[in-house]
């Protein structure tokens, strides 16, 4: 069998499994970069995942992007960016646990923090950012809050009920919204890179 045919056959049959043993569901593969960057996000419903990927894209797609629930090993990275959704005033439990576990490392490497939340862009969100920076024991070069989104069909029954009550109390309709803008995230990524490099 010719060498080329061998590769073709192995890729299309079981032999290809050796080459593609590890499957990554929607892993973000970063571009090469002089410094190793990682963005770690906490999310319940996905808007922080999107923001994290778009922030990396704003940097030229050079950052590896991790969900805090993956419990990534952050020791090999030079710089970190940390972000989360806000739920009753708090970040996700998985991100909080990861921060506490990696504290000495984080306080040296975290360059920027962000939140994607209902109050994005307001003074309340500024408070969330300050709390997150404090938790990481850093003074980041860049902080940004983004307005987030609600997709009712994704909410857990508990979250659904609480959000329903929240809007009812305020006499406001409880509806889907989506205020997260990709261009704002791209711009934030660009800003971080300019400030650090
Ligand atoms: C149960 C629940 C509680 C929330 N509590 C807050 C809050 O205290 N402050 C806020 O600004 N946004 C709050 N939000 C809005 C979320 O932060 C916003 O929907 C964000 O986009 C969620 O991020 P995610 O999609 O990455 O999970 C809440 C949303 C839900 C579903």
pLDDT at 28: 85
Task: Examine residue 148 and state whether it is found in any structural domain, yes or no.
Answer: yes
Kindly give the distance from the C-alpha atom of residue 13 to the centroid of ligand 1, in angstroms, as a whole number: 45
Over the chain (197 residues), the average pLDDT of each successive run of 10 is: 47 47 80 96 98 98 97 97 98 98 95 98 98 98 98 98 97 98 98 96
* In-domain check, residue 92: yes
Spatial distance between the Cα atoms of 19 and 146, rounded to a whole number of angstroms: 40
With tokens 């090993």, the residue in question is 73
Domain membership flag for residue 10: no
What is the side-by-side strand order in the sheet with 79-85? 63-67, 37-42, 79-85, 110-117, 142-147
Is 24 a member of any domain? Answer: no
**Is 19 within 8 Å of 54 (Cβ atoms)?**
no
Structural domain count of the chain:
1
The answer, yes or no, to whether any atom of ligand 1 lies below 6 A from the CB of 116, is: yes
Domain membership of residue 116 (yes or no) is yes
Specify the pLDDT at position 16: 45
Find out whether the beta carbon of 43 lies less than 6 Å from any atom of ligand 1: yes
Q: Are 118 and 147 in contact (CB under 8 A)?
A: yes
The per-residue pLDDT for 23 is: 79
145 lines ligand 1 (CB under 6 A): no
What pLDDT, on the 0 to 100 scale, is given for residue 19? 54
Decide if 155 is inside a domain: yes
DSSP string, 140-187: -SEEEEEE-EE-GGGS-HHHHHHHHHHHHHTT-----EE---HHHHHH
Residue 89, ligand 1, Cβ within 6 A: yes
42 lies in some domain = yes
Whether the Cβ atoms of residue 113 and residue 143 lie closer than 8 Å to each other = yes
Of ligand 1's listed atoms, the one at least distance from the Cα of 148 is 21
Enclosing H/E stretch for 95: helix 93-101
Instruction: For residue 119, give the CATH number of its domain.
Output: 3.40.50.360
Q: Is the CB of 182 under 6 A from ligand 1?
A: no
Range of the domain at 107: 32-196
Here the tokens at position 48 are 């922080």
Query: Counting atoms of ligand 1 from 1, which one is nearest the CA of 162?
Result: 1
Q: Is residue 196 within 8 Å of residue 141, measured between CB atoms?
A: yes
Asked whether 118 lines ligand 1 (CB < 6 A), one says yes
Q: Which residues pair with 42 in a beta bridge?
A: 84
Whether 59 is covered by a domain: the verdict is yes
């Amino acid at each position: 069998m010719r060498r080329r045919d061998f590769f073709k056959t192995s890729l299309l049959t079981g032999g290809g499994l050796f080459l593609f043993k590890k499957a990554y569901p929607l892993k973000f593969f970063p571009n090469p970069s002089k410094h190793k960057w990682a963005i770690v996000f906490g999310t319940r419903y996905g808007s922080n995942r999107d923001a994290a990927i778009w922030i990396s894209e704003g940097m030229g797609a050079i950052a590896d992007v991790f969900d805090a629930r993956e419990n990534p090993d952050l020791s090999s990275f030079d710089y970190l960016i940390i972000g989360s959704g806000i739920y009753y005033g708090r970040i996700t439990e998985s991100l909080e646990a990861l921060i506490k576990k990696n504290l000495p490392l984080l306080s040296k490497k975290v360059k920027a923090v962000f939140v994607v939340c209902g109050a994005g862009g307001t003074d309340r969100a500024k408070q969330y950012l300050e709390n997150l920076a404090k938790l990481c024991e850093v003074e980041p070069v860049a902080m940004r809050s983004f307005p987030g989104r609600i997709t009712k069909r994704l909410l857990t029954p508990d979250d659904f009920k609480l959000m329903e009550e929240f809007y009812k109390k305020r006499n406001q309709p409880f509806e889907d919204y989506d205020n997260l803008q990709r261009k704002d995230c791209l711009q934030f990524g660009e800003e971080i890179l300019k400030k650090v490099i």
